[in-house]
Every structure is written in structure tokens, then in C-alpha cells.
């Protein structure tokens, strides 16, 4: 049973490709390489360069490779960019899903794992863990596009008999190996690394939240665990043509910004004493996944803790720095307002 992974040359996608192959599943990667890298794709995995907006090419690829299921990860993911360029995000993320669903229908492919995001929740009103049935009120165009994608997938499931799993990622971090590390400086941990490389303290936006140490609390998940969640979803869809799942992918454990900085200090040996800044609009005090549904439905749970995430992320950052790749990205991240220790995106990066 061959799986097509759109966005399979990206940070998360490359890990998913390896998790599927570890299950013995043939994989084909479809990526426009705008942020992905060919080097991330194993030499024996077919890589087709193209946009998911090209429905004819997608249909051709699905048929040519006899694809039985799709993991859809291609899309744009930066909250700040989505606020500045909302129509661009709607085109890439919403029209991209529509184009893919039509191509799958044309090629009679009836299994889809959809990369969604905890950004669909916005700022949850209830206290405690965020459950999948909470009212979704995304705060950004990015979160809106992910929720719209879920709606389309669910509607297509009813109309076409599509088995699906919408996976809502929380904050993603770490690397299974240094070569697969996050190449951007837009997620919390690499943003902190970028600040430290520039000789500047991490920024903490808000120290007076109603949390144990006054800083925002989020659910962080190792990218390798996220990848095995996709493999578990693929197994479920392969055996259950009626599957219609919407699942959080997180550890069910909250970590504060200051706790992340402590872990970074332990991994790097560097001083991570932060610089405090004012709160930013839209930052919820705490967003932590309820992870019981994914355990019940897929038999999956996260295995890596925060220390493993930070240690592996630091090893990947050092490898990029030694190759000269981290310099430009790190400097840009450190110089920007995004070089903070508090993310406006409760989901991290889908």
C-alpha cells in the first residue's frame, strides 16, 4: 500500500516519511521545495516536485504510483505571515486541500491523513486540557485555513466515502537525527538558539500570566513522536474504511516558557536568563492537549520528554551552524520580534 506524502521534504514531512517506511510502507514524496530540501528525502523514495494547486499533476502522480492513501502536510504555517498575507494563506492552505481532494476523487484514493493544528482552538475559554470537541475559534488566518481544511475533509468523507484522520499538532520540537532538524527560526526552541547565537537574551512576552511561574504554558511534542502518530493513523485508515477521526497530537503535559529556557540552558551550557517584555495580544495563558482520544483510537502515545526534544534540537542546530547553514536564518530570527521565548501560535508548526 503506497502512501503519498505531500510536503515530505520538509522538517516534519521528512520524519513522517521515515516513520511510514519503518512500518514497511512504500512512500512517494510530492513537494514544491519552497521550504523543503531534496536532501531530506531518501535516495530510494520517488520525489516529484510540484504544487498541490496543480490538480492535474497530482491526479497523474496518484495514478502512476498506484497510491492508496495520502498524508497531506504541504502548506504554509507561519501565524505572523498569515496575518500579513491572509489571501496567500487561503490560496495555499484551503485551495490546496480542495485541489488535493478533487485529485484523490479522480484517482479513487480513499484514505487521507490531514496535517491540522492546535491553532484551530484559538484561545480556549475552559480551564484544563483542551479536548477535541471544544468550540474552535482560531485567532489567525493560519488557524482559520486549517479549520476550513478539516471541514472540507470531513465533508468529502461523507460525500465520497473518504476515510480520514485530522491530526491537530501542538508545539513540535526536536529532531530524530541532526540532518533532519528544523531549518527555520520561527518555532520557540530554534528562536531561542538564534537569540543566543546573536549574543542576545531570549525574550519572554508576559511574566504575569495565571500560571505557576507567570509565563505561558504549552504542550511540546517531539517530531519523532509526531511522525509515529501519522504512521499509526495510516495503519488505522488502512484497516478501517469508515474512519472519521479528529485527534490532538500532544503529550498531555504542559511546559512553561521558563521551563523551556531551563532545558535549553542544560542542553547548551549557556545563560538563558531572559529579557521580559509586555504581553502580546492573542497569547493564551495555557494550551495543553487532552491526549486520551488518540491513545484510545490509535493506541499511540508520546515517548520523548522535553529534555530529549531540546537536546536533539541543539544537536541539529550545532550541525547546521558548523555547515554554515544556521547563520543567516539564525540572525534573521534573532533580529526579529519573532525571536521570542513565547510563541503566538499554540500549535507550533504543522
Residue positions annotated with a catalytic role: 142
Cα 121 to Cα 18: distance, rounded to the nearest angstrom: 29
Closest among 334, 57, 33, 17 to 197, alpha carbons compared: 334
| Residues 72, 70: Cα–Cα separation, whole Å | 6
Helices of type H across the chain? 11-22, 55-64, 79-84, 86-89, 96-106, 141-160, 188-197, 223-239, 257-268, 292-298, 306-323, 326-335
Class of residue 328 by CB neighbours under 10 A (exposed 0-12, middle 13-18, buried 19+)? exposed
Q: For residue 194, how far is the Cα from the chain centroid? A: 20
Amino acid at each position: 500500500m503506497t502512501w503519498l506524502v505531500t510536503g515530505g521534504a520538509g522538517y516534519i514531512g521528512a520524519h513522517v516519511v521515515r516513520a511510514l517506511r519503518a512500518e514497511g510502507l512504500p512512500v512517494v514524496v510530492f513537494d514544491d521545495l519552497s521550504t523543503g530540501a531534496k536532501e531530506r528525502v531518501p535516495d530510494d523514495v520517488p520525489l516529484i516536485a510540484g504544487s498541490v494547486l496543480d490538480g492535474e499533476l497530482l491526479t497523474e502522480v496518484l495514478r502512476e504510483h498506484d497510491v492508496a492513501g495520502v498524508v497531506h502536510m504541504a502548506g504554509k504555517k507561519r501565524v505572523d505571515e498569515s496575518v500579513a498575507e491572509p489571501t496567500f494563506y487561503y490560496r495555499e492552505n484551503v485551495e490546496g486541500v480542495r485541489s488535493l481532494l478533487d485529485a484523490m476523487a479522480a484517482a479513487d484514493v480513499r484514505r487521507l491523513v490531514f496535517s491540522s493544528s492546535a491553532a484551530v482552538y484559538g484561545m480556549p475559554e475552559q480551564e484544563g486540557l483542551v479536548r477535541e470537541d471544544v468550540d474552535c475559534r482560531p485567532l489567525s488566518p493560519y488557524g482559520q485555513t486549517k479549520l476550513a481544511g478539516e471541514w472540507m475533509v470531513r465533508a468529502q468523507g461523507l460525500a465520497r466515502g473518504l476515510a480520514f484522520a485530522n491530526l491537530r499538532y501542538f508545539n513540535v520540537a526536536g529532531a530524530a537525527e541532526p540532518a533532519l532538524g528544523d531549518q527555520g527560526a520561527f518555532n520557540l526552541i530554534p528562536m531561542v538558539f538564534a537569540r543566543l547565537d546573536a549574543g542576545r537574551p531570549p525574550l519572554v512576552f508576559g511574566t504575569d500570566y495565571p500560571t505557576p511561574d507567570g509565563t505561558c504554558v504549552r504542550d511540546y511534542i517531539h517530531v519523532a513522536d509526531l511522525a509515529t502518530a501519522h504512521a499509526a493513523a495510516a495503519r488505522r485508515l488502512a484497516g478501517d474504511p469508515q474512519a472519521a477521526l479528529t485527534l490532538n497530537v500532544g503529550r498531555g503535559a504542559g511546559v512553561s516558557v521558563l521551563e523551556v529556557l531551563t532545558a535549553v540552558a542544560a542542553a547548551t551550557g549557556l545563560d538563558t536568563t531572559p529579557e521580559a517584555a509586555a504581553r502580546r495580544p492573542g497569547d493564551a495563558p495555557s494550551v495543553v492537549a487532552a491526549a486520551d482520544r488518540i491513545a484510545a483510537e490509535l493506541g499511540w502515545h508520546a515517548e520523548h520528554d522535553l529534555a530529549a526534544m531540546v537536546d536533539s534540537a541543539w544537536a541539529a542546530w550545532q550541525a547546521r551552524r558548523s555547515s554554515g547553514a544556521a547563520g543567516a536564518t539564525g540572525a534573521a530570527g534573532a533580529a526579529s520580534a519573532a525571536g521570542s521565548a513565547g510563541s503566538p501560535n499554540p500549535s507550533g508548526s504543522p
